[in-house]
Structure 1
Amino acid sequence: MKKIDFKTLITILFIIMLFIFAFILSVGYVLSNIDPKNKLQGYAIAISFIGIFATFGGAYFGAKISGENASKLSKKENMINDLRNTLQYNNKILDKFNREGLSFELEIYLSDRNFNNVLDLNGYHIKFMQLKSNYDYFVKTNNFENIFPLLSYEFNELKEKLNVLGDNLFKCIHKIDIKVQKLVNQQGYDNFNIYGYGSGLNIYHDEKENIAIVEISYNNEIEKVKIDLIELNKAINYTDIENVNLALKNARVYWHKFKFKSKEDIRNFIAEYYGDYE
Protein backbone atom coordinates (compact mmCIF):
# COMPACT_ATOMS: atom_id res chain seq x y z
CA MET A 1 0.00 0.00 0.00
CA LYS A 2 1.31 3.43 -0.94
CA LYS A 3 2.00 5.69 2.03
CA ILE A 4 0.28 9.08 2.25
CA ASP A 5 2.70 11.98 2.52
CA PHE A 6 2.33 14.65 5.24
CA LYS A 7 1.00 17.35 2.90
CA THR A 8 -1.74 15.04 1.57
CA LEU A 9 -2.66 13.99 5.12
CA ILE A 10 -3.04 17.62 6.23
CA THR A 11 -5.23 18.32 3.20
CA ILE A 12 -7.47 15.32 3.96
CA LEU A 13 -7.83 16.34 7.61
CA PHE A 14 -8.69 19.91 6.60
CA ILE A 15 -11.39 18.67 4.20
CA ILE A 16 -12.86 16.40 6.91
CA MET A 17 -12.94 19.25 9.45
CA LEU A 18 -14.52 21.54 6.86
CA PHE A 19 -17.16 18.91 6.14
CA ILE A 20 -17.92 18.48 9.86
CA PHE A 21 -18.19 22.23 10.38
CA ALA A 22 -20.48 22.59 7.35
CA PHE A 23 -22.60 19.64 8.54
CA ILE A 24 -23.08 21.12 12.01
CA LEU A 25 -24.00 24.54 10.61
CA SER A 26 -26.42 23.19 8.01
CA VAL A 27 -28.14 20.57 10.20
CA GLY A 28 -28.16 22.89 13.20
CA TYR A 29 -29.71 25.65 11.11
CA VAL A 30 -32.48 23.36 9.85
CA LEU A 31 -33.28 22.03 13.33
CA SER A 32 -33.20 25.50 14.89
CA ASN A 33 -35.76 26.72 12.34
CA ILE A 34 -38.06 23.86 13.30
CA ASP A 35 -38.02 24.98 16.90
CA PRO A 36 -37.03 28.70 16.93
CA LYS A 37 -37.38 28.88 20.70
CA ASN A 38 -34.52 26.37 21.19
CA LYS A 39 -32.07 27.31 18.48
CA LEU A 40 -29.01 26.19 20.40
CA GLN A 41 -30.54 22.75 20.94
CA GLY A 42 -30.57 22.17 17.18
CA TYR A 43 -26.84 22.75 16.96
CA ALA A 44 -26.29 20.56 20.04
CA ILE A 45 -28.16 17.72 18.33
CA ALA A 46 -26.01 18.13 15.20
CA ILE A 47 -22.84 18.02 17.31
CA SER A 48 -24.09 14.94 19.17
CA PHE A 49 -24.85 13.28 15.85
CA ILE A 50 -21.24 13.87 14.73
CA GLY A 51 -20.01 12.54 18.08
CA ILE A 52 -21.86 9.25 17.59
CA PHE A 53 -20.29 8.72 14.17
CA ALA A 54 -16.88 9.72 15.54
CA THR A 55 -17.18 7.14 18.31
CA PHE A 56 -18.15 4.31 15.95
CA GLY A 57 -15.59 5.49 13.39
CA GLY A 58 -12.84 5.55 15.99
CA ALA A 59 -13.75 2.05 17.15
CA TYR A 60 -13.75 0.77 13.57
CA PHE A 61 -10.40 2.28 12.67
CA GLY A 62 -8.91 1.17 15.97
CA ALA A 63 -9.96 -2.42 15.32
CA LYS A 64 -8.74 -2.18 11.72
CA ILE A 65 -5.30 -0.90 12.73
CA SER A 66 -5.04 -3.50 15.49
CA GLY A 67 -5.89 -6.28 13.03
CA GLU A 68 -3.38 -5.03 10.46
CA ASN A 69 -0.63 -4.82 13.09
CA ALA A 70 -1.40 -8.35 14.27
CA SER A 71 -1.26 -9.59 10.66
CA LYS A 72 2.09 -7.86 10.07
CA LEU A 73 3.50 -9.28 13.30
CA SER A 74 2.37 -12.77 12.34
CA LYS A 75 4.02 -12.49 8.92
CA LYS A 76 7.26 -11.26 10.45
CA GLU A 77 7.26 -14.10 12.98
CA ASN A 78 6.88 -16.58 10.12
CA MET A 79 9.76 -14.88 8.27
CA ILE A 80 11.97 -15.12 11.36
CA ASN A 81 11.20 -18.82 11.78
CA ASP A 82 11.90 -19.54 8.09
CA LEU A 83 15.14 -17.56 8.22
CA ARG A 84 16.33 -19.41 11.31
CA ASN A 85 15.48 -22.80 9.78
CA THR A 86 17.39 -22.01 6.58
CA LEU A 87 20.14 -19.85 8.09
CA GLN A 88 23.02 -22.20 7.25
CA TYR A 89 22.06 -22.43 3.58
CA ASN A 90 21.31 -18.69 3.33
CA ASN A 91 24.71 -17.75 4.74
CA LYS A 92 26.49 -20.16 2.42
CA ILE A 93 24.83 -18.72 -0.69
CA LEU A 94 25.28 -15.08 0.32
CA ASP A 95 28.90 -15.60 1.36
CA LYS A 96 29.71 -17.09 -2.03
CA PHE A 97 27.69 -14.39 -3.81
CA ASN A 98 29.72 -11.62 -2.18
CA ARG A 99 33.03 -13.48 -2.30
CA GLU A 100 32.73 -13.72 -6.09
CA GLY A 101 32.18 -9.95 -6.24
CA LEU A 102 28.71 -10.13 -7.77
CA SER A 103 27.14 -7.77 -5.26
CA PHE A 104 29.90 -5.22 -5.92
CA GLU A 105 29.54 -5.55 -9.71
CA LEU A 106 25.76 -5.15 -9.55
CA GLU A 107 26.20 -1.90 -7.65
CA ILE A 108 28.59 -0.63 -10.33
CA TYR A 109 26.89 -1.75 -13.54
CA LEU A 110 23.32 -1.08 -12.46
CA SER A 111 24.09 2.50 -11.47
CA ASP A 112 22.48 5.37 -13.38
CA ARG A 113 24.30 6.17 -16.63
CA ASN A 114 24.33 8.63 -19.52
CA PHE A 115 24.68 7.05 -22.94
CA ASN A 116 25.86 9.91 -25.15
CA ASN A 117 26.81 7.85 -28.21
CA VAL A 118 27.06 4.33 -29.58
CA LEU A 119 30.55 3.93 -28.14
CA ASP A 120 29.15 4.38 -24.63
CA LEU A 121 26.53 1.72 -25.32
CA ASN A 122 29.04 -0.66 -26.87
CA GLY A 123 31.46 -0.30 -23.96
CA TYR A 124 28.74 -0.74 -21.36
CA HIS A 125 27.31 -3.75 -23.18
CA ILE A 126 30.68 -5.52 -23.00
CA LYS A 127 31.01 -4.96 -19.24
CA PHE A 128 27.36 -5.72 -18.50
CA MET A 129 27.38 -9.01 -20.41
CA GLN A 130 30.43 -10.12 -18.42
CA LEU A 131 28.48 -9.42 -15.24
CA LYS A 132 25.36 -11.15 -16.57
CA SER A 133 27.35 -14.21 -17.58
CA ASN A 134 28.85 -14.47 -14.09
CA TYR A 135 25.47 -13.94 -12.44
CA ASP A 136 23.72 -16.55 -14.63
CA TYR A 137 26.47 -19.05 -13.88
CA PHE A 138 26.13 -18.39 -10.14
CA VAL A 139 22.35 -18.96 -10.20
CA LYS A 140 22.73 -22.06 -12.36
CA THR A 141 25.48 -23.77 -10.35
CA ASN A 142 24.17 -23.14 -6.82
CA ASN A 143 21.39 -24.94 -4.98
CA PHE A 144 18.57 -22.55 -4.10
CA GLU A 145 16.11 -25.24 -2.98
CA ASN A 146 16.94 -25.13 0.73
CA ILE A 147 17.33 -21.38 1.21
CA PHE A 148 14.77 -18.86 2.41
CA PRO A 149 12.00 -18.74 -0.29
CA LEU A 150 12.03 -14.94 -0.57
CA LEU A 151 15.79 -14.96 -1.15
CA SER A 152 15.48 -17.58 -3.89
CA TYR A 153 12.63 -15.65 -5.49
CA GLU A 154 14.61 -12.39 -5.51
CA PHE A 155 17.65 -13.99 -7.14
CA ASN A 156 15.49 -15.45 -9.91
CA GLU A 157 13.51 -12.25 -10.43
CA LEU A 158 16.72 -10.22 -10.72
CA LYS A 159 17.90 -12.70 -13.35
CA GLU A 160 14.80 -11.85 -15.41
CA LYS A 161 15.41 -8.11 -15.01
CA LEU A 162 18.98 -8.58 -16.24
CA ASN A 163 17.69 -10.61 -19.19
CA VAL A 164 15.42 -7.73 -20.25
CA LEU A 165 18.29 -5.25 -20.00
CA GLY A 166 20.56 -7.60 -21.96
CA ASP A 167 17.96 -8.00 -24.70
CA ASN A 168 17.56 -4.23 -25.14
CA LEU A 169 21.31 -3.72 -25.22
CA PHE A 170 21.72 -6.49 -27.80
CA LYS A 171 19.15 -4.85 -30.09
CA CYS A 172 21.24 -1.67 -30.03
CA ILE A 173 24.50 -3.54 -30.65
CA HIS A 174 22.92 -5.38 -33.57
CA LYS A 175 21.92 -2.06 -35.16
CA ILE A 176 25.40 -0.65 -34.53
CA ASP A 177 26.98 -3.71 -36.15
CA ILE A 178 24.85 -3.29 -39.28
CA LYS A 179 25.71 0.42 -39.45
CA VAL A 180 29.45 -0.22 -39.02
CA GLN A 181 29.45 -2.79 -41.83
CA LYS A 182 27.67 -0.34 -44.10
CA LEU A 183 30.09 2.52 -43.32
CA VAL A 184 33.16 0.30 -43.77
CA ASN A 185 31.75 -1.10 -47.00
CA GLN A 186 31.30 2.46 -48.31
CA GLN A 187 35.06 2.92 -48.03
CA GLY A 188 35.73 0.17 -50.55
CA TYR A 189 36.12 -2.81 -48.24
CA ASP A 190 34.40 -6.07 -49.14
CA ASN A 191 34.43 -9.55 -47.61
CA PHE A 192 35.74 -8.34 -44.25
CA ASN A 193 35.04 -9.30 -40.65
CA ILE A 194 34.65 -6.90 -37.76
CA TYR A 195 36.65 -7.84 -34.71
CA GLY A 196 34.64 -8.25 -31.55
CA TYR A 197 35.55 -7.77 -27.93
CA GLY A 198 33.65 -10.04 -25.60
CA SER A 199 30.02 -9.53 -26.51
CA GLY A 200 30.57 -6.17 -28.21
CA LEU A 201 32.40 -4.68 -31.16
CA ASN A 202 36.04 -3.64 -31.12
CA ILE A 203 35.35 0.06 -31.67
CA TYR A 204 37.06 2.87 -29.86
CA HIS A 205 37.09 6.64 -29.86
CA ASP A 206 39.89 8.71 -31.37
CA GLU A 207 39.46 11.85 -29.27
CA LYS A 208 41.96 13.91 -31.28
CA GLU A 209 40.00 13.57 -34.51
CA ASN A 210 36.67 12.88 -32.75
CA ILE A 211 36.02 9.82 -34.87
CA ALA A 212 35.39 6.13 -34.27
CA ILE A 213 37.93 3.51 -35.25
CA VAL A 214 36.95 -0.08 -35.93
CA GLU A 215 39.30 -3.03 -36.37
CA ILE A 216 38.52 -5.41 -39.21
CA SER A 217 40.05 -8.50 -40.74
CA TYR A 218 40.63 -7.86 -44.46
CA ASN A 219 42.74 -10.00 -46.83
CA ASN A 220 44.13 -11.89 -43.83
CA GLU A 221 45.37 -8.68 -42.26
CA ILE A 222 44.13 -6.47 -39.43
CA GLU A 223 43.18 -2.99 -40.52
CA LYS A 224 41.94 0.02 -38.58
CA VAL A 225 39.18 1.88 -40.37
CA LYS A 226 38.09 5.40 -39.47
CA ILE A 227 34.35 5.98 -39.19
CA ASP A 228 32.42 9.22 -38.88
CA LEU A 229 31.08 9.22 -35.32
CA ILE A 230 28.07 11.35 -36.22
CA GLU A 231 27.03 8.89 -38.92
CA LEU A 232 27.64 5.95 -36.59
CA ASN A 233 25.40 7.47 -33.92
CA LYS A 234 22.52 7.35 -36.41
CA ALA A 235 22.46 3.59 -35.90
CA ILE A 236 20.29 4.03 -32.82
CA ASN A 237 17.49 6.42 -31.99
CA TYR A 238 15.94 8.02 -28.91
CA THR A 239 13.55 5.11 -28.39
CA ASP A 240 16.44 2.61 -28.31
CA ILE A 241 18.20 4.62 -25.60
CA GLU A 242 14.98 5.05 -23.61
CA ASN A 243 14.31 1.30 -23.69
CA VAL A 244 17.80 0.60 -22.37
CA ASN A 245 17.47 3.27 -19.67
CA LEU A 246 14.08 1.92 -18.56
CA ALA A 247 15.35 -1.67 -18.37
CA LEU A 248 18.43 -0.46 -16.48
CA LYS A 249 16.28 1.51 -14.03
CA ASN A 250 13.98 -1.48 -13.40
CA ALA A 251 16.93 -3.76 -12.71
CA ARG A 252 18.58 -1.15 -10.45
CA VAL A 253 15.40 -0.53 -8.44
CA TYR A 254 14.83 -4.25 -7.97
CA TRP A 255 18.41 -4.80 -6.84
CA HIS A 256 18.20 -1.92 -4.34
CA LYS A 257 15.03 -3.48 -2.88
CA PHE A 258 16.78 -6.79 -2.26
CA LYS A 259 15.88 -7.68 1.33
CA PHE A 260 19.04 -9.62 2.07
CA LYS A 261 22.25 -8.93 0.16
CA SER A 262 24.58 -10.45 2.76
CA LYS A 263 24.43 -12.65 5.84
CA GLU A 264 24.87 -9.47 7.92
CA ASP A 265 21.51 -8.24 6.58
CA ILE A 266 19.85 -11.42 7.87
CA ARG A 267 21.59 -11.15 11.24
CA ASN A 268 20.50 -7.51 11.64
CA PHE A 269 16.92 -8.34 10.65
CA ILE A 270 16.68 -11.10 13.28
CA ALA A 271 18.46 -9.01 15.92
CA GLU A 272 16.09 -6.10 15.36
CA TYR A 273 13.11 -8.39 15.79
CA TYR A 274 14.35 -9.67 19.16
CA GLY A 275 15.18 -6.17 20.36
CA ASP A 276 18.97 -6.59 20.40
CA TYR A 277 19.41 -4.01 17.70
CA GLU A 278 20.73 -0.64 18.82
Structure 2
Amino acid sequence: MQNTKLELKHILIIIFIIILAIISFVFVVGYIISYVDPKHSITGYSIAISFVGVFATFGGAYLGAKVSGDNSRKLYEYQKNEKNKQIINKLEIAASIKMIKVLNHSNIAKESRLNLYVAPEDNRTYDEIMSSGIMETLDLIDGYANPIIELLEDRGFCCKVKNIANH
Protein backbone atom coordinates (compact mmCIF):
# COMPACT_ATOMS: atom_id res chain seq x y z
CA MET A 1 0.00 0.00 0.00
CA GLN A 2 1.27 3.43 -0.88
CA ASN A 3 0.95 6.37 1.42
CA THR A 4 -1.15 8.88 -0.54
CA LYS A 5 -0.82 11.62 2.05
CA LEU A 6 1.48 14.44 1.01
CA GLU A 7 4.37 15.34 3.25
CA LEU A 8 5.05 18.92 4.30
CA LYS A 9 8.11 19.29 2.06
CA HIS A 10 6.09 18.20 -0.99
CA ILE A 11 3.35 20.69 -0.15
CA LEU A 12 5.90 23.50 0.23
CA ILE A 13 7.50 22.60 -3.12
CA ILE A 14 4.07 22.65 -4.82
CA ILE A 15 3.22 26.03 -3.26
CA PHE A 16 6.61 27.44 -4.31
CA ILE A 17 6.08 26.26 -7.90
CA ILE A 18 2.58 27.79 -8.00
CA ILE A 19 3.85 31.13 -6.66
CA LEU A 20 6.73 31.07 -9.15
CA ALA A 21 4.28 30.33 -12.00
CA ILE A 22 1.99 33.21 -10.94
CA ILE A 23 4.88 35.67 -10.73
CA SER A 24 6.20 34.47 -14.10
CA PHE A 25 2.73 34.83 -15.63
CA VAL A 26 2.40 38.41 -14.36
CA PHE A 27 5.82 39.40 -15.68
CA VAL A 28 5.40 37.65 -19.05
CA VAL A 29 1.91 39.03 -19.73
CA GLY A 30 2.92 42.46 -18.42
CA TYR A 31 6.01 42.45 -20.64
CA ILE A 32 4.05 41.38 -23.71
CA ILE A 33 1.38 44.05 -23.21
CA SER A 34 4.00 46.74 -22.46
CA TYR A 35 5.92 45.69 -25.59
CA VAL A 36 2.78 46.09 -27.71
CA ASP A 37 1.86 49.47 -26.16
CA PRO A 38 4.94 51.06 -24.51
CA LYS A 39 2.97 54.18 -23.42
CA HIS A 40 0.79 52.09 -21.06
CA SER A 41 3.30 49.58 -19.75
CA ILE A 42 1.93 49.65 -16.19
CA THR A 43 -1.54 48.78 -17.51
CA GLY A 44 -0.27 45.44 -18.80
CA TYR A 45 0.98 44.48 -15.38
CA SER A 46 -2.25 45.55 -13.67
CA ILE A 47 -4.28 43.50 -16.17
CA ALA A 48 -2.15 40.43 -15.46
CA ILE A 49 -2.46 40.93 -11.69
CA SER A 50 -6.25 41.40 -11.99
CA PHE A 51 -6.49 38.21 -14.07
CA VAL A 52 -4.62 36.26 -11.38
CA GLY A 53 -6.79 37.90 -8.70
CA VAL A 54 -10.00 36.66 -10.32
CA PHE A 55 -8.79 33.05 -10.25
CA ALA A 56 -7.45 33.47 -6.72
CA THR A 57 -10.87 34.70 -5.59
CA PHE A 58 -12.67 31.72 -7.11
CA GLY A 59 -10.01 29.35 -5.81
CA GLY A 60 -10.39 30.74 -2.30
CA ALA A 61 -14.16 30.46 -2.47
CA TYR A 62 -13.90 26.85 -3.64
CA LEU A 63 -11.40 25.98 -0.91
CA GLY A 64 -13.56 27.63 1.77
CA ALA A 65 -16.68 25.81 0.60
CA LYS A 66 -14.83 22.49 0.48
CA VAL A 67 -13.46 22.85 4.01
CA SER A 68 -16.86 23.96 5.29
CA GLY A 69 -18.60 21.03 3.60
CA ASP A 70 -16.10 18.52 4.97
CA ASN A 71 -16.50 19.91 8.48
CA SER A 72 -20.30 19.88 8.18
CA ARG A 73 -20.29 16.25 7.08
CA LYS A 74 -18.01 15.22 9.95
CA LEU A 75 -20.15 17.15 12.44
CA TYR A 76 -23.33 15.51 11.12
CA GLU A 77 -21.82 12.03 11.44
CA TYR A 78 -20.63 12.84 14.97
CA GLN A 79 -24.06 14.14 16.00
CA LYS A 80 -25.77 11.09 14.49
CA ASN A 81 -23.44 8.76 16.39
CA GLU A 82 -23.98 10.68 19.64
CA LYS A 83 -27.76 10.51 19.18
CA ASN A 84 -27.55 6.75 18.59
CA LYS A 85 -25.38 6.39 21.70
CA GLN A 86 -27.96 8.28 23.77
CA ILE A 87 -30.77 6.10 22.45
CA ILE A 88 -28.76 2.96 23.15
CA ASN A 89 -28.03 4.18 26.69
CA LYS A 90 -31.74 4.82 27.30
CA LEU A 91 -32.61 1.39 25.96
CA GLU A 92 -29.94 -0.23 28.11
CA ILE A 93 -31.29 1.58 31.19
CA ALA A 94 -34.86 0.44 30.43
CA ALA A 95 -33.68 -3.13 29.88
CA SER A 96 -31.57 -3.00 33.05
CA ILE A 97 -34.53 -1.83 35.12
CA LYS A 98 -36.64 -4.73 33.85
CA MET A 99 -33.80 -7.20 34.47
CA ILE A 100 -33.41 -5.84 38.01
CA LYS A 101 -37.08 -6.66 38.56
CA VAL A 102 -36.38 -10.20 37.36
CA LEU A 103 -33.33 -10.45 39.64
CA ASN A 104 -35.31 -9.19 42.64
CA HIS A 105 -38.01 -11.73 41.91
CA SER A 106 -35.35 -14.42 41.65
CA ASN A 107 -34.05 -13.49 45.09
CA ILE A 108 -37.56 -13.62 46.53
CA ALA A 109 -38.15 -16.98 44.84
CA LYS A 110 -34.96 -18.38 46.39
CA GLU A 111 -36.28 -17.55 49.84
CA SER A 112 -39.72 -18.98 49.14
CA ARG A 113 -40.93 -22.45 48.51
CA LEU A 114 -43.03 -23.33 45.56
CA ASN A 115 -46.61 -24.41 46.27
CA LEU A 116 -46.57 -27.48 44.07
CA TYR A 117 -47.65 -30.03 46.61
CA VAL A 118 -49.01 -30.09 50.15
CA ALA A 119 -48.87 -33.44 51.90
CA PRO A 120 -52.28 -34.89 52.87
CA GLU A 121 -51.15 -35.35 56.45
CA ASP A 122 -50.30 -31.62 56.72
CA ASN A 123 -52.92 -30.39 59.21
CA ARG A 124 -52.25 -26.67 58.82
CA THR A 125 -54.95 -24.36 57.53
CA TYR A 126 -54.73 -22.69 54.13
CA ASP A 127 -53.84 -19.34 55.70
CA GLU A 128 -51.04 -20.93 57.72
CA ILE A 129 -49.63 -22.60 54.62
CA MET A 130 -49.79 -19.36 52.58
CA SER A 131 -48.19 -17.27 55.31
CA SER A 132 -45.21 -19.61 55.65
CA GLY A 133 -43.41 -18.23 52.58
CA ILE A 134 -44.94 -20.40 49.89
CA MET A 135 -45.16 -18.87 46.42
CA GLU A 136 -47.85 -19.74 43.89
CA THR A 137 -46.65 -21.21 40.59
CA LEU A 138 -48.22 -18.43 38.53
CA ASP A 139 -46.64 -15.79 40.76
CA LEU A 140 -43.27 -17.42 40.22
CA ILE A 141 -43.66 -17.48 36.44
CA ASP A 142 -45.18 -13.99 36.28
CA GLY A 143 -42.32 -12.54 38.29
CA TYR A 144 -39.88 -13.64 35.61
CA ALA A 145 -42.02 -13.16 32.53
CA ASN A 146 -43.87 -9.88 33.15
CA PRO A 147 -40.85 -7.52 33.14
CA ILE A 148 -39.57 -9.09 29.93
CA ILE A 149 -43.02 -8.96 28.32
CA GLU A 150 -43.37 -5.29 29.35
CA LEU A 151 -40.02 -4.56 27.77
CA LEU A 152 -40.95 -6.29 24.53
CA GLU A 153 -44.41 -4.69 24.40
CA ASP A 154 -43.01 -1.21 24.88
CA ARG A 155 -43.52 0.20 21.37
CA GLY A 156 -40.92 2.90 21.85
CA PHE A 157 -38.34 0.31 22.79
CA CYS A 158 -39.00 -1.85 19.73
CA CYS A 159 -39.09 1.12 17.32
CA LYS A 160 -35.84 2.55 18.69
CA VAL A 161 -34.11 -0.81 18.38
CA LYS A 162 -35.31 -1.12 14.76
CA ASN A 163 -34.17 2.43 13.93
CA ILE A 164 -30.72 1.86 15.35
CA ALA A 165 -30.42 -1.48 13.56
CA ASN A 166 -31.34 0.15 10.23
CA HIS A 167 -28.70 2.90 10.51
Could you state the TM-score of these two structures normalised by the residue count of structure 2? 0.49
Report the structure, 1 or 2, having the larger strand content: 1
Flag the structure with more relative contact order, 1 or 2, with Cα contacts below 8 A and sequence separation at least 6.
Answer: 1
Q: Which has the larger radius of gyration?
A: 2
